[in-house]
A and B are shown apart, each in its own frame.
Chain A
């Protein structure tokens, strides 16, 4: 794939032309103190000075170099919404790093361990909550980005909104996928645990029937404690599953809101030329609608009625005055 860089030639020409322009601004004009950087207004002088080097000249255009806003680009600050969009992208970045940590924590929690794994659970919980909070906050901020009025700036904002919405949607989908796999594995583990307990219980019950009553009491005590433990365990797992399910639902809600903003790939809305035309036609349509509204308002029946009534009022007033005068 061939290409050719013409920047070098361009710069050469530009510098050459700059030096041609520059001598005029370094003229002994008293008014120009610092603005001698060839802002263009004194180009007419070039020819004059070159053709008649012996003549002293006064600058033709007494442009006050103070108001440099003529052509010089005022490198102003970007508008406020850019800050909002940068905040959102920073949030997205942070959420991504947290997600990586979450994946690691999930893996660790699923591995069989000796401790009761409470710290793991807490870690997972806190990470999940943090990520969900980040996504929620970003989504709220996203709503702030939309602007009113068909201007170029609003198009930029809309597109920034779209791209951030796509990022957020991908993030939330990833999070939910991770959570659902974790959930599934958790369920498997729980059942496995129950199965093991069940086995133990069966053994226990079998041994009960074989033994005497005293042993019955002892075994049933063992059984009770085991049962209690496994119950507490199951209850905890239930709670965790419930929490995960809740966060899944929250994210589903967020996704629904975001899907309005995101573009469907492959459709006509995803075409660049379609979007350019739509902008043009929307602006035109808007103008037409405004004009139509203006006309209808002017011709409106309401306006006519009101005018008629006011005229009637004046007429009546005049009649009243006349009556007073002549009677």
Chain B
């Protein structure tokens, strides 16, 4: 509840003291921030009768002075420009300005300069600069995410912008939670180091230290900045737990699922909302695997059928009255049931088409255990199989390459050639790019459990014991990281501190930020870890939420930019 309730509280505070009819004006980022926490009907209750974007509101000239304007924007220069223009010719009676991050003095000066009519009643900073999609999971929805893969020499213009946005987002998390953290970062990643240091400089230690002067806890919370490339396997795998699966196969954006491209669906099912706050069934099932979901949905449908049958037999006036009483509930349940049934049907179709059961089995073997020879055979068989789609072939080869990079280069080349022969679109160059970015030399963590003896022994034991479910045996690297933190075994060598502060004892709150994006599998890991009551509360965040398509797109973009910069040089 932590992150979502923080955002909701901010919005409530914004609106409660202003009486009368209001119009809420947002920009393209804050729209996502507000939409995941509050619904339209809640805003209506607070007398917000119009919600607009800041760029579109300047197009109309009609004056609505009976409305009070509440602006909630990020403090970027474009937004300040928009505001200046709108303050110069105000349309509304009063203006209340709220910004999602720290304002510079020059920006306040500019606004004061434009406010000749003196319509601005207040300017406040409410630090809700992140999208809280789940109670312990946030994202920053950054558009050009691939920049983190490029070294600073290649792209000198966009990288500072990227880092600034990330630092702003992380700072606002800590301001919303009212904490002052100790920062650690992954040694092998330059961008993680840069972000960690910039966060320290800007937010925690120097510039705005007055703002971060919260009551010091016994053990300060920890901010850990790590790089996506330390665990490139997690975004590449096929998922079988509800939320992760929907994102992997269809795609979730700000808790909304867009089904328009998938098939012919009735109008009210073309876009649906999957939010654990608003949907009790989803909250109970979001981390369950596909088989269990099927069972639970069947139970839900049976319940619903019972109710609708009893609704059909209306004989007395009492029955009628009862029906009308229960109608809103009935309608809501109907909508909910059809939403989940539609999603499961569409996903089953996709699984069938792409033969994902077969593919995923091999993927899990590659990620978790199994010998090299068997893996090579399995991958070759699947590559030869005609019904496998191109993207799945690419993913398989990538996984194989990441796992058995050093073990048998000849066989790896064979796989590359086979891949190239099948599809012109997905070149093996991409696989080599991945190896360059996230190969075994670049990784800190023990991704495959084959670096130290303890892990190898553990893997062998697991192999002998057998697993419950072949399809969900993969544990993301994040799980091991969280365990190390809770046992205070996170090595200083691998994850050094920023500045001179050292952690005494176990932190009680940990924010892990993955530069490059998180996956829903990892957020599931975090949620399950939090539910196990180990005494530590973990919060996970990233620049975007990845699935395999998005990760491949980032890789392709980065590869293209790297190539074009080399061509220039």
Q: Tell me the bound Cα distance from A275 to B256 in angstroms.
A: 13
Chain A residues near B (Cβ < 8 Å): 1-7, 9-11, 13-14, 16-17, 21, 38-40, 71-79, 82, 151-153, 155-156, 159-160, 162-163, 166, 173, 176-177, 180, 245, 248-249, 252, 255, 259, 263-276, 280
Taking a contact as CB atoms under 8 Å apart, the answer to whether B108 and A13 are in contact is: yes
Taking a contact as CB atoms under 8 Å apart, the answer to whether B125 and A270 are in contact is: no
Q: Tell me the bound Cα distance from A3 to B13 in angstroms.
A: 10
For residue B67, CB closer than 8 A to chain A, the reply is: yes
The CB with the most chain B CB atoms within 10 A, among A264, A267, A269, is that of A267
Taking a contact as CB atoms under 8 Å apart, the answer to whether A6 and B108 are in contact is: yes
Taking a contact as CB atoms under 8 Å apart, the answer to whether A156 and B67 are in contact is: yes
> Do most interface residues of chain B lie in helix, strand or loop, or is the interface mixed?
mixed
Taking a contact as CB atoms under 8 Å apart, the answer to whether A264 and B6 are in contact is: no
For residue B457, CB closer than 8 A to chain A, the reply is: no
Q: Which of A77, A156, A176 contacts B21 (CB 8 A)?
A: A156
Taking a contact as CB atoms under 8 Å apart, the answer to whether B50 and A6 are in contact is: no
In whole Å, how far is A202's beta carbon from the nearest beta carbon of chain B? Answer: 30
Taking a contact as CB atoms under 8 Å apart, the answer to whether A248 and B21 are in contact is: no
Which 7 pairs show the lowest CB-CB distances between chains A and B?
A78-B66, A13-B112, A163-B44, A14-B112, A159-B49, A273-B35, A4-B125
- Of B266-274, B502-510, B543-551, B554-562, the segment with at least 4 beta carbons within 8 Å of chain A is B266-274
Q: Tell me the bound Cα distance from A60 to B32 in angstroms.
A: 48
In whole Å, how far is A18's beta carbon from the nearest beta carbon of chain B? Answer: 8
Taking a contact as CB atoms under 8 Å apart, the answer to whether A268 and B256 are in contact is: yes
Q: Which of B47, B66, B317 contacts A245 (CB 8 A)?
A: B317
When A156-B21, A271-B39, A273-B35 are in contact, do A73 and B119 touch as well, CB less than 8 Å? yes
Taking a contact as CB atoms under 8 Å apart, the answer to whether A155 and B65 are in contact is: no
Taking a contact as CB atoms under 8 Å apart, the answer to whether A14 and B117 are in contact is: no
When A76-B65, A152-B64, A156-B49 are in contact, do A1 and B10 touch as well, CB less than 8 Å? yes
**Which chain B residue lies CB-closest to A14?**
B112
Interface magnitude class on chain B: 35 or more
**Which chain B residue lies CB-closest to A152?**
B60
When A163-B44, A264-B332 are in contact, do A71 and B65 touch as well, CB less than 8 Å? no
Q: Tell me the bound Cα distance from A2 to B124 in angstroms.
A: 11
Taking a contact as CB atoms under 8 Å apart, the answer to whether B51 and A151 are in contact is: no
When A39-B116, A176-B321, A264-B331 are in contact, do A5 and B50 touch as well, CB less than 8 Å? no
Chain A residues with Cβ below 8 Å from B109 are 13
Taking a contact as CB atoms under 8 Å apart, the answer to whether B53 and A73 are in contact is: no
Q: Which of A13, A245, A248, A273 contacts B31 (CB 8 A)?
A: A273
Taking a contact as CB atoms under 8 Å apart, the answer to whether B112 and A6 are in contact is: no
When A73-B119, A151-B62, A268-B256 are in contact, do A2 and B175 touch as well, CB less than 8 Å? yes
Q: Which of B63, B88, B118 contacts A76 (CB 8 A)?
A: B63
Q: Tell me the bound Cα distance from A16 to B48 in angstroms.
A: 33
For residue B123, CB closer than 8 A to chain A, the reply is: yes
Chain A residues with Cβ below 8 Å from B279 are 266
Enumerate 21 A-B pairs (CB-CB under 8 Å) in ascending A order.
Answer: A1-B6, A4-B211, A5-B123, A7-B124, A10-B108, A73-B117, A82-B66, A152-B52, A152-B64, A153-B62, A156-B50, A176-B321, A180-B325, A252-B321, A266-B273, A266-B275, A267-B272, A270-B273, A274-B35, A274-B271, A275-B51
Q: Tell me the bound Cα distance from A245 to B34 in angstroms.
A: 44
Taking a contact as CB atoms under 8 Å apart, the answer to whether B176 and A73 are in contact is: no
Chain A residues with Cβ below 8 Å from B32 are 273
When A3-B124, A272-B38, A276-B53 are in contact, do A163 and B45 touch as well, CB less than 8 Å? yes
In whole Å, how far is B467's beta carbon from the nearest beta carbon of chain A? Answer: 36
Chain B residues with Cβ below 8 Å from A274 are 35, 256, 271
Taking a contact as CB atoms under 8 Å apart, the answer to whether A2 and B35 are in contact is: no
For residue B368, CB closer than 8 A to chain A, the reply is: no
For residue B120, CB closer than 8 A to chain A, the reply is: yes
Taking a contact as CB atoms under 8 Å apart, the answer to whether B120 and A10 are in contact is: yes
In whole Å, how far is A262's beta carbon from the nearest beta carbon of chain B? Answer: 8
In whole Å, how far is B513's beta carbon from the nearest beta carbon of chain A? Answer: 19
In whole Å, how far is A9's beta carbon from the nearest beta carbon of chain B? Answer: 6
Chain B residues near A (Cβ < 8 Å): 6, 9-10, 13, 21, 23, 31-32, 34-35, 38-41, 43-45, 47-53, 56, 60, 62-67, 88-90, 93, 102-103, 105, 108-109, 111-113, 115-127, 175-178, 211, 214, 254, 256, 268, 271-273, 275, 278-279, 317-318, 320-321, 324-325, 327-328, 331-332, 335-336
Chain A residues with Cβ below 8 Å from B125 are 3-6
Taking a contact as CB atoms under 8 Å apart, the answer to whether A17 and B63 are in contact is: no
Q: Tell me the bound Cα distance from A245 to B38 in angstroms.
A: 39
Given contacts A2-B175, A252-B321, 19 further A-B contacts (CB under 8 A): A1-B6, A7-B122, A40-B116, A76-B65, A155-B50, A159-B50, A163-B41, A163-B45, A176-B325, A255-B327, A263-B40, A266-B335, A267-B335, A268-B256, A268-B271, A272-B31, A272-B35, A273-B32, A275-B51
Chain B residues with Cβ below 8 Å from A173 are 325
**Which chain B residue lies CB-closest to A251?**
B324
Chain B residues with Cβ below 8 Å from A9 are 105, 108
Taking a contact as CB atoms under 8 Å apart, the answer to whether B108 and A272 are in contact is: no
Chain A residues with Cβ below 8 Å from B115 are 10, 14
Q: Which of A75, A248, A266 contacts B336 (CB 8 A)?
A: A266
When A14-B115, A267-B268 are in contact, do A156 and B23 touch as well, CB less than 8 Å? yes
Q: Tell me the bound Cα distance from A14 to B124 in angstroms.
A: 16
When A6-B123, A39-B116, A271-B273 are in contact, do A264 and B335 touch as well, CB less than 8 Å? yes
Taking a contact as CB atoms under 8 Å apart, the answer to whether A74 and B63 are in contact is: yes
In whole Å, how far is A138's beta carbon from the nearest beta carbon of chain B? Answer: 17
Taking a contact as CB atoms under 8 Å apart, the answer to whether B325 and A276 are in contact is: no
Q: Tell me the bound Cα distance from A40 to B103 in angstroms.
A: 26
When A10-B123, A71-B89 are in contact, do A270 and B178 touch as well, CB less than 8 Å? no
Q: Which of B41, B48, B49, B214 contacts A270 (CB 8 A)?
A: B41
Q: Which of A7, A156, A163 contacts B123 (CB 8 A)?
A: A7
**Which chain B residue lies CB-closest to A169?**
B328
When A73-B117, A265-B41 are in contact, do A152 and B271 touch as well, CB less than 8 Å? no
Taking a contact as CB atoms under 8 Å apart, the answer to whether B321 and A163 are in contact is: no
**Which chain A residue lies CB-closest to B109?**
A13
Q: Which of B9, B44, B56, B113 contacts A280 (CB 8 A)?
A: B56
Q: Tell me the bound Cα distance from A7 to B327 in angstroms.
A: 48
**Which chain A residue lies CB-closest to B47?**
A163
**Which chain A residue lies CB-closest to B107?**
A6
